[in-house]
């Protein structure tokens, strides 16, 4: 099998898609389709954080800092509730919604 | 496992082998059979319709039954008889080499079915693999077979819609039990086909997967590798259209269940309606997974190349330049993921067909959970 290198979103539009995907696949992000058996919470957050670095200039410093903080909080919530049985996963998804708000406002501004 | 399947289906091993041969043209033998002797059979099948045909160069009808030095002990076979040729069997593939240079591992069932004679299509043709035991379409024409149909009372736009064949994107297909031996045979066939297109293809393996899921994943990956080889070496896009569709359909189905669950837990942003919210998240998931899919197999997406994801497709036909944005495009086929049913009457679909790239068809991908005929192909009105 070819080695798995997670895709790093390169534009705000792709980051927007990534956040939507993370909403659906949280809290463990394990792939059950068979296409990406190596996928994990590690690979997903690697991709997200690398994308934030790539888009730092487009995000602006304060948005970038906010996104990084939300990403870290979100991960902690998901790791605390891998079975999705407590409120931790819900709180993690709230972080995702907050990140979506930031990206949406930037996309709107960019037209 | 094989014995259990035979018991459930009430069939003998010989009958199962015969059915397999009818579907694929591959003759299976029993490792422990003591039968000797040649029997007449016709190994040549037209891959278009699976019917018997002549060997290259034409055939002759002869009552003589030839003996081959390599004729294996074989299950008794009954054949249709037309165009039978009396000729020597082709040498059997090196059974050991199937394990040596492709995959390891064998089922240790008492009655083992060993692929006795496989003749790969020398051109790894595009017409698919006839009627394989595992659904393995290589073009969208196989996925959406037959002529355009629609309600008898409806003419015009509805008649351009072609439904997806039942279970065609499932790995195993209807009623086909994926035994380890079938999985090995199919995997070997895929590797041979890939090598016929790309002789440099290497398959490095630690061994044939023992689990059902592992075997399905292997077949899935090899099919994609085959599609990639066709694209990279021959510039042929059609197998990739099928594999991308397979991937998008699976992701759509999975995303639908999860999006509904998230909506029910109040975690989806609703702007217009429940369907809009669910559809929005499905779109996003399918697109990012398609990027991952292309990324994994080294397929480049670009504004000018044949592989595009939510690219603007412009139309210069009117006085003003307009555009539509299908979720994906591969060559001359546009793909759009949707919850709602779309037809030629839908402005968005009309806009796709008016785009400068002039698609031959638009494939609408909808969650399978919405019922049969959820995914379908709309042909260009002029086709």
Note the pLDDT of residue B245: 95
Distances (CA, A) of B89 to A19, B27, B43, B66, B193: 59, 11, 9, 8, 22
Q: Is B379 helix (H, G, I), strand (E, B) or coil?
A: strand
- CB of B221 within 8 Å of a chain A CB? The answer is yes
Task: Look up the pTM and report it.
Answer: 0.71
- CB of B297 within 8 Å of a chain A CB? The answer is yes
Binary contact (A90, B291; C-beta < 8 A): no
A vs B: CB pairs below 8 A: 74
Closest of B124, B168, B175 to residue B19, by C-alpha? B175
Of A5, A7, A100, which is closest to B291 when you measure between CB atoms? A7
Nearest CA in chain A to B249: A33
What residues of chain B lie within 8 A of the CB of A19, using their CB? 284
- CB of B295 within 8 Å of a chain A CB? The answer is yes
Place of tokens 């942003």: B269
Between B146 and A97, the higher pLDDT residue:
A97
pLDDT band at A48 (very low <50, low <70, confident <90, very high): very high
Domain ranges of chain A: 12-110
Instruction: Round to whole Å and give the CA distance between A27 and A83.
Output: 8
Instruction: Round to whole Å and give the CA distance between B328 and B308.
Output: 6
Q: Is B31 helix (H, G, I), strand (E, B) or coil?
A: coil
What residues of chain A lie within 8 A of the CB of B255, using their CB? 24
Note the pLDDT of residue B204: 77
Note the pLDDT of residue B165: 73
Phi-psi region of B50 (alpha: psi -120 to 50; beta: other; left: phi over 0): left
- Whole-number average pLDDT of chain A: 94
Nearest CA in chain A to B224: A35
Note the pLDDT of residue B58: 47
Nearest CA in chain A to B284: A17
Helix A61-80 to helix A41-54 angle (10° resolution) is: 180
Query: pLDDT in tens for each of the 383 residues of chain B?
Result: 667 777 667 777 777 776 776 666 666 665 554 444 555 556 655 555 666 665 554 444 334 433 434 433 433 333 333 333 333 333 333 322 333 333 333 333 333 222 333 333 434 455 555 444 577 899 998 888 865 444 433 334 445 777 777 677 776 554 456 788 888 899 999 999 999 999 999 887 778 888 888 888 899 999 999 999 999 999 999 999 999 999 999 999 999 999 999 899 887 878 889 999 999 999 999 999 999 999 999 999 988 889 999 887 888 777 777 888 889 999 999 999 999 999 988 999 998 998 888 899 999 999 999 988 899 999 988 76
Highest mean pLDDT among A23-37, A46-60, B148-162, B318-332: A46-60
- CB of A36 within 8 Å of a chain B CB? The answer is yes
- CB of A25 within 8 Å of a chain B CB? The answer is yes
Note the pLDDT of residue B320: 78
Closest of B229, B179, B234 to residue B202, by C-alpha? B229
Find the farthest-apart pair of alpha carbons in chain B and give their distance in angstroms, rounded. 78
Domain ranges of chain B: 2-135+170-234, 142-168+238-379
Binary contact (A100, B247; C-beta < 8 A): no
**Which one of A15, A34, A92, A102 makes the best mutation probe of the B interface by having the most chain B beta carbons within 10 Å?**
A34
Of B254, B265, B295, which is closest to A33 when you measure between CB atoms? B254
Number of Cβ within 10 Å of residue B167's Cβ equals 13
Classify burial at B125, counting beta carbons within 10 Å of its beta carbon; exposed 0-12, middle 13-18, buried 19 or more. middle
Q: Distance (Å) from the C-alpha of residue A33 to the closest C-alpha of chain B?
A: 7
Of A5, A17, A35, which is closest to B288 when you measure between CB atoms? A17
Q: Distance (Å) from the C-alpha of residue B282 to the closest C-alpha of chain A?
A: 8
Binary contact (B285, A20; C-beta < 8 A): yes
Nearest CA in chain B to A21: B285
Instruction: Round to whole Å and give the CA distance between A99 and A20.
Output: 10
């Amino acid at each position: 099998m070819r080695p798995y290198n997670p895709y790093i979103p390169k534009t705000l539009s792709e980051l927007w898609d990534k956040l939507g995907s993370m909403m659906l696949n949280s809290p463990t992000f394990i792939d059950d389709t068979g296409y990406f058996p190596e996928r994990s919470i590690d690979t997903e957050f690697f991709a997200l954080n690398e994308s934030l670095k790539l888009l730092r200039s487009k995000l602006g410093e304060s948005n970038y800092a906010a996104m990084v903080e939300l990403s870290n909080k979100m991960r902690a919530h998901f790791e605390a509730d891998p079975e999705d049985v407590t409120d931790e996963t819900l709180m993690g998804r709230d972080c995702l919604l907050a990140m979506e708000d930031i990206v949406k406002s930037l996309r709107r501004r960019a037209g | 496992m094989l014995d259990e399947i035979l018991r459930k289906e009430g069939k003998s091993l010989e009958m199962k082998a015969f059915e397999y041969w009818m579907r694929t043209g591959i003759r299976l033998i029993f490792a422990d059979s003591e039968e000797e002797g040649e029997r007449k059979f016709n190994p040549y099948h037209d891959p278009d319709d699976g019917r018997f045909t002549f060997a290259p160069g034409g055939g002759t009808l002869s009552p003589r039954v030839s003996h081959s030095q390599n004729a294996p002990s074989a299950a008794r076979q009954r054949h249709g008889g037309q165009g039978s040729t009396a000729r020597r069997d082709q040498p059997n593939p090196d059974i050991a080499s199937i394990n040596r240079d492709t995959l390891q591992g064998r089922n240790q069932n008492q009655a083992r079915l060993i692929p006795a004679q496989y003749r790969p299509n020398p051109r790894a043709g595009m017409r698919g693999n006839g009627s394989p035991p595992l659904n393995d379409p290589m073009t969208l024409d196989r996925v959406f077979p037959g002529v355009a149909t629609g309600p008898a009372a409806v003419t015009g736009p509805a008649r351009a819609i072609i439904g997806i064949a039942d279970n065609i994107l499932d790995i195993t297909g209807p009623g086909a039990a994926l035994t380890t031996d079938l999985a090995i045979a199919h995997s070997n066939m895929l590797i041979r086909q890939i090598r016929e297109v790309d002789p440099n293809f290497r398959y490095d393996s630690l061994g044939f997967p023992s689990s059902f899921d592992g075997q399905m994943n292997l077949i899935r990956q090899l099919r994609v590798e085959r599609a990639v080889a066709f694209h990279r070496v021959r510039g042929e896009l059609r197998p990739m259209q099928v594999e991308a569709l397979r991937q998008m359909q699976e992701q759509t189905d999975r995303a639908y269940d999860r999006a509904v669950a998230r909506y029910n837990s109040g975690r989806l942003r609703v702007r217009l309606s429940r369907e809009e919210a669910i559809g929005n998240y499905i779109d996003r998931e399918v697109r990012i997974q398609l990027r991952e899919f292309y990324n994994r197999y080294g397929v480049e997406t670009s504004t000018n190349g044949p592989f595009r994801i939510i690219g603007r497709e412009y139309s210069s036909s009117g006085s003003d330049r307009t555009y539509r944005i299908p979720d994906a495009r591969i060559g001359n086929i546009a793909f759009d993921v949707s919850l709602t049913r779309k037809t030629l009457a839908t402005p968005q679909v009309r806009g796709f067909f008016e785009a400068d790239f002039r698609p031959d068809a638009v494939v609408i991908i909808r969650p399978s959970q919405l019922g049969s005929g959820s995914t379908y192909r709309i042909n260009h009105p002029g086709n």
